[in-house]
Amino acid sequence: MKILVAYKRVVDYNVRIQVKPDGSGVVTDGVKLSANPFDDIALEEALRLREKGVASEVIVATIAPADAQPHLRNGLAMGANRAIHVVSDGPIEPLTAARALLKLIEKEQPGLVLMGKQAIDDDANQTGQMLATLWGRPQATFAGKVDIADNRATVIREVDAGLETLDVELPAVITTDLRLNEPRFIKLPDIMKAKSKPLETVPFADLGVEGGNQLKVSHYAPPPKRSRGVMVKDVPELVSALKSKGLL
Amino acid sequence: MSKILIIAEHLDGKLNPSTAKCVSAAKAVGGDIHIAVLAADPTAIAAEAARIEGVGKVLAVANAANAHAIAQVLAPQIAKLAEGYSHVFGPSTTFGKDLMPCVAALLGSAQVSDVMTVESSHVFKRPIYAGNAIITVEAPSDRPVVATIRVASWAAAGEGGSAAVENASVEASLPTHTKFVELKQGKSDRPDLQSAPRVVSGGRGVGSAENFSIIFSLADKLGAGVGASRAAVDAGYVPNDMQVGQTGKIIAPELYVAIGISGAIQHLTGIKDAGTIVAINKDAEAPIFEVADIGLVGDLFQIVPELEKAL
C-alpha cells in the first residue's frame, strides 16, 4: 500500500507573527518556515506504518511556490520515498487544495492519505475532510491512535466529548492530532541521501483543477490588545481585587 | 433576504449549547433561521431547538444511520437540506469542524472557519495564525456560504422561542464504509469547560497527576470548570479533553485562573476572550503575565490552598 502525506510549509510555530501596518497581510519575508507540525506527525505515522510492513511506499506532496523544494527534501530526509511538488504562485484555499490533491490521488492510487488536522497558518481545519468528500472515501479526523488491519483502519479520535473510536474501510483520509506520535529528528546522513531521492515537479495549471479561490481576504488586523493588568503581592490582595471586579 | 440553516449539535439526546451560539451568529446575519436536527430519534432534541429564540423552523431528520455523528453520513443529507438556503452554519466544535467542510465540498463552496464577527451577510472576521491576526473575509454571493461559528465569540441565544418542528425526509445514498465503535467520555460532575462561566486551569508547574487535586479542589470551591495546558496533558496529569488552547478547546469564561501555566502562544489563543484572567506562577517573567488582568508571583503550592481557604 502507498501512503500519500500532504505536507504543507508554514511559518514556524515559534515565530510571533506580525501584521503589516497597512493591513495587507502578515510579515513573512525573512521569517523561518517549517513543516506544519501536524503534517510532521502525519509523515511520522506513515513512516511507522511502513516500518511495520503495512505500507510499502510513502510519498510527500505539497502545493507551494517554487522555493519550497528544501521543504520537501526535509520530508525525504525524514524518510519518505519520494516527493511531489505542485508548484503554485499564490496562496491556495482548502477547497482548491483538496481538488488538487484529488488529482494526485487519481494518479497515485494511495491506500491511505495522512495529513495534519489543520495548518497553523490559516487554522482552517478543512482540507482533509473536503478531500475525503470529493474522493467519496471515509475520513477519520483528529486521530490520536491509528491501527491498520484487514484493509480497515481503527482510529481513536480526540473529540470534545472525549475519545471516539471509528472503524473505517480503506482507502481513507486520516488527519492527525498532536498526540498521535512524536516525530523523529532528521540525521545528517539522511539529508545527504534525500538529495538523490525522486522529486517530481508539477505546475499547478497542469493538474486541470476546476475553480479558483472563492474567498477574498480584504484586511488583516492584529488582535485587540488586552489592557495591562495589575500585579498583587499576596492572596488577600488577590481576593480583594477579584471582589472589586465583582467576581467573588 | 438570507435564509440560514444551522446544523444542530447534540449528544445523548440533548442539544449542545453550541447550537444556540450559532443562532446568535445567524441573527447577526439576519433573515430566516432554521435548525436541522439529524438523529436516530430527533424528537426531544428538535423540541429543545424549537425553544431557542429567533428560530423560525426546526427540520427533524430521523434516520437510524444518524445515531452517531459520522461526517460522511450526515453531509450528503445536509447538502440536500441546504437547497434554497443562502447560508449553512455549524459550530466550530470538533463536531462542526469534522462535518462542515464535507458539506462545503458537496456544495462546491469554500468554507469560512471560526467566524468571530459578522460584518454583513457575506463578510466575516476570523482568526488566523493562532489568533495573532484577524482577517476580514468576503464569501461570494452566487453560492451558499458555509461557515463554522467560533463558539467562544458568541453568547448563546436565549430561550422563549416556539418554532414549528417539521419532519423532513431526505433522499440521499449514504455510505456504509464507516462504523462507530465507541465513545469514551471523561465523566465529570464539574461544569462543562466550554460553557462554564469560571474555569481554573493547571499547567506543567502543578508537577504531577496527584498534585492536580489542589486544582480540582479550588475549582470546586469556585464552582468552576477545570482545564489544563498542553504541557499538563502531554505529561499525563489529566486527559486530552481538558486541554485549552489552539489545538484544544477555545473558551471565554468570565473568570479564568491559570495556575502554573507559562502562557505559550498556543495556550493564550484558547483564552484570549476570557473576561478576567488571573495568573499564579512562580516565574515573574512568564508570558502569561502579559495577558493576565491580575497576576500573583509565588509558589502555587502555598498560594492555591491559601486562596481556597480565603474564599
Report d(CA B114, CA B297) in Å as an integer: 34
Packed helices A235-244 and B300-310: angle between N→C axes, nearest 10 degrees? 50
Residue in chain A closest to B137 (alpha carbons) equals A217
Averaged pLDDT for residues B242-270:
92
Kindly determine whether residue B295 and residue A164, on different chains, have CB atoms separated by under 8 Å.
Answer: no
For position A14, what pLDDT does the model report? 84
Using CA of residue B7, residue B70, residue B110, residue A41, what is the dihedral sign?
positive
β pairing state of B294-297 and B276-281: parallel
User: Contacts of residue A163 in chain B, CB cutoff 8 Å?
Assistant: 183-184, 240-241
Residue spans in chain B of domains classed CATH 3.40.50.620:
3-167
Lowest mean pLDDT across A92-101, A221-230, B272-281: A221-230
pLDDT tier for residue A57 given thresholds of 50, 70 and 90: very high
Q: How confident is the model at residue B116 (pLDDT cuts 50, 70, 90)?
A: very high
Residue B117 contacts A where some CB pair is shorter than 8 Å: no
**pLDDT of A175 over the 80 cut:** yes
Task: Give the residue from chain A lying closest to B116, CA to CA.
Answer: A223
pLDDT at B43: 97
Q: Which tops the pLDDT comparison, A142 or A248?
A: A142
pLDDT tier at B304, thresholds 50, 70, 90 = very high
Instruction: Judge whether residue A236 has pLDDT over 90.
Output: yes
| Per-residue pLDDT tens digits for B198-227 | 999 999 999 999 999 999 999 999 999 999
Cβ distance of B111 and A17 shorter than 8 Å: no
When the candidates are 1.10.510.10, 1.10.1740.10, 3.40.50.1220, 3.30.70.370, the CATH number that belongs to B198-310 is 3.40.50.1220
Q: Give the model's pLDDT for residue B133.
A: 95
Predicted confidence (pLDDT) at residue B253 exceeds the cutoff of 90: yes
pLDDT, tens digit, 9 for 90 and up, residues A27-39: 988 999 999 999 9
Q: How far is CA B83 from CA A152, B42, B95, B279, in A?
A: 34, 21, 22, 49
Query: How large is the greatest C-alpha to C-alpha distance in chain A, in angstroms?
Result: 68
- Please say whether the dihedral angle defined by the alpha carbons of residues A21, A23, A24 and A25, taken in this order, is positive or negative: positive
Task: Give the DSSP letter string of B35-76.
Answer: EEEEESS-HHHHHHHHTBTT--EEEEEE-GGGSS--HHHHHH
Count other Cβ atoms within 10 Å, centred on residue B160.
9
ipTM, two decimals, is 0.95
Q: Cβ B105–A161 below 8 Å, yes or no?
A: no
What digits encode the pLDDT tens for the residues B144-180? 999 999 998 999 999 999 999 999 999 899 999 999 9
CB contact under 8 A, B182 and A164: yes
% pLDDT > 70, chain A: 100
Instruction: Domain B3-167: give its CATH code.
Output: 3.40.50.620
Average pLDDT score over chain B: 95
B254 touches chain A (CB under 8 A): yes
Instruction: Give the CA distances from residue A196 to residues A40, A66, A77, A81, A191, in Å, rounded to whole numbers and listed in that order.
Output: 21, 19, 10, 10, 10
Give, to the nearest 10 degrees, the angle between helix B71-81 and helix A127-135. 80
Which member of B134, B139, B292 has the closest CB to residue A229? B292
Q: Is the pLDDT of residue B186 over 80?
A: no
User: Other C-beta atoms within 10 Å of B123: how many?
Assistant: 16
| pLDDT value of residue B272 | 85
- Are A218 and B128 within 8 A, CB to CB? no
Instruction: Work out the pLDDT band at B266, boundaries 50, 70, 90.
Output: confident
**Of the partner residues A19, A161, A219, the one whose CB lies closest to the CB of residue B183:** A161
Give the whole-angstrom CA distance, residue B290 versus residue B8: 37
Q: B136 in contact with A at a CB cutoff of 8 Å?
A: yes
Task: In chain B, list all ranges with CATH 3.40.50.1220.
Answer: 198-310
Beta partners for residue B296, in sequence order: A232, B280
Q: What is the pLDDT of residues B5-24, one digit of tens each?
A: 999 999 999 999 999 999 99
- At B205 the pLDDT is 97
Across the interface, whether the CB atoms of A168 and B179 are under 8 A apart is answered yes
Kindly state the average pLDDT of the residues B68-93.
97
Length of chain B: 311
Of B194, B246, B295, the CB nearest to A231: B295
pLDDT at A90 over 90: no
For residue A227, the model assigns a pLDDT of 81
Is A222 a residue whose pLDDT tops 90?
yes
pLDDT at A248: 86
Asked whether the predicted pLDDT for residue A205 surpasses 90, the reply is yes
Q: What is the pLDDT of residue A225?
A: 82
pLDDT per residue as tens digits for the range B118-144: 999 999 999 999 888 999 999 999 999
Q: Average pLDDT over chain A, rounded to whole?
A: 96
CB atoms within 10 A of CB B155: 9
Residue B306: other Cβ atoms inside 10 A: 15
pLDDT at A134: 98
B33 grid coordinates = 433561521
